[in-house]
Amino acid sequence: MTVNLLDLDLDGLAVFCESLGEKRYRATQLFRWIHQKGATDFDQMTDLAKSLRDKLPSSACIEASKVVSRHDSADGTIKWLFDVGAGDVIETVFIPESDRATLCISSQAGCAVGCRFCSTGHQGFSRNLTTAEIVAQLWFAEHTLRREFKRDERIISNVVMMGMGEPLQNYSQLLPALRTMLDDHGYGLSRRRVTVSTSGVVPMMDRLAQDCAVALAVSLHAPSDALRDDLVPLNKKYPIDELLQACARYQLAAPRDFITFEYCMLEGVNDTPEHARQLIALMQKHAPNGLSCKFNLIPFNPFPASGLKRSGMAAVTAFAKVLLDSGVVTTVRKTRGDDIDAACGQLAGDIQDRTGAKKRMASQRQGMLSGIKVVVAEGMGL
């Protein structure tokens, strides 16, 4: 059987090398060729022991998913759609800024959580991505852009697991991917520059704290269980108090500023000053456990099937003011606007014609990711 080496973190690669009768340390060289140099051809790996180079072609490959389409926005944002087989499409977004360049990565084809305001949630769950499919998004983007920008040094400085899917419902495949991102012989990203975004899979937050405590974005979206049950159905399993206790535990394993709460602003649903006051009460209730927090308010990116609307700027500002006045660090993510929306429309048409219904569903998510892009790119303190 051929092993896709993108599936393996450095430890996994060492075990694989041993299985070929090679010394474990050879794995480090091989890992660097794959992730730091973007090599796909074992013959390129000139300093690798000849014995290993001879064995690799029959037992291993280095393969990314196929690109279905690419869209370049005027502001430098790039969106790729990848075909992961059986009609499933995932997407990856590159967001350049003056002081960093972020890659937004998908963890699943579809999502089983089914949040009301999320087009991926409406699409339903198809399957978990493999480690290779997760890592390949970074591997492909990094080395494609290095070639295009004619740069030898690292381009992508931050990774956010904010694409399609709930990363903590695909933990076993996520963990080696995170380790490869952090590994000095891989992408060498610090824990602060890799963010896992979760709708609140409590037991897996505890696992992540122990295994690989990277930055965490917690998608809260509501100050009460009644409302959150409706917006994020996973809340029925892991209600807000349990979620916030898990956050406090997470902060014992990671620096205190590693957690951000995401709050998608939905007109007339969760965006009144009263909701903001309820949030403060909630945070104060958990403060004795040591919870420290900051909030990111995300203007909802509408899509037709949701029946929801984006909060107006006045509502967002009033909401943020309540939080800020009680000392909660709050940022608002500002949409970059029409350029991207227009682009998303074009992309949807393009894909629709060529590849059919399921891919059309994925492309709707482009709208949502435009929102996320903005979140990452233009977090703006009020």
Classify residue 334 by its DSSP letter.
Answer: P
Of residues 22, 91, 133, 166, which has the active-site annotation?
Answer: 91
Burial of 197 (0-12, 13-18, 19+ CB in 10 A): buried
Q: At what angle do helices 171-182 and 10-19 cross, to 10 degrees?
A: 100
Which residue number, 40 or 335, has a Cβ lying nearer to ligand SAH? 335
Residue 355 interface partner, choices ligand SF4, ligand SAH, none, CB cut-off 5-8 Å depending on type: none
State which H helix or E strand residue 100 sits in.
none
Nearer to ligand SF4, 120 or 126 (CB): 120
Q: Is 316 in the site for ligand SAH (CB under 6 A)?
A: no
Q: Kindly write out the interface string for residues 197-226 of this chain, putting x where it contacts ligand SF4 by CB under 6 A and - elsewhere.
A: --x-------------------x-------
Q: Quick one: residue 76, left, alpha or beta (phi over 0 = left, psi -120 to 50 = alpha)?
A: left
* Residue 198 in the binding site for ligand SAH (CB under 6 A): yes
Interaction of residue 128 with ligand SF4, rule CB under 6 A: no
CA-closest candidate to residue 244, choices 263, 218, 273: 218
C-alpha radius of gyration, the chain, whole number: 21
And the tokens for 376?
């990452």
Q: Judged by CB, which is closer to ligand SF4: 38, or 233? A: 233
Which CB sits closer to ligand SF4, 186 or 200?
200
| Nearest by Cα to 31 from 50, 59, 55, 7 | 7
The tokens 């499919």 sit on which residue?
133
Q: Does position 367 bind ligand SF4 by CB under 6 A?
A: no
Q: Does residue 266 bind ligand SF4 (CB under 6 A)?
A: no
What is the closest distance, in whole angstroms, from the C-beta atom of residue 199 to ligand SF4 in the complex? 4
Taking CB within 5 to 8 Å according to partner kind, which of ligand SAH, ligand SF4, none is near residue 114? ligand SF4
Helix, coil or strand: residue 143: helix
Catalytic residue among 17, 104, 115, 344: 344
For ligand SAH, the binding residue among 130, 144, 195, 197 (CB under 6 A) is 197
Binding-residue total with ligand SF4 (CB under 6 A): 11
Please give the helix or strand (H or E) that residue 53 lies within, else none: helix 50-59
Which of residues 30, 118, 204, 243 is near ligand SAH by CB under 6 A? 118
Q: Is 307 left (phi over 0), alpha (psi -120 to 50) or beta?
A: left
274 among known catalytic residues: no
344 is catalytic: yes
321's tokens? 């003011």
The helix (H) or strand (E) run that includes residue 174 is helix 171-182
The residue ranges that bind ligand SAH (CB under 6 A) are 117-118, 162, 166, 197-199, 219, 262, 264, 298, 300-301, 368, 371-372
The residue ranges that bind ligand SF4 (CB under 6 A) are 111, 113-115, 118, 120-121, 165-166, 199, 219
Catalytic residues: 91, 344
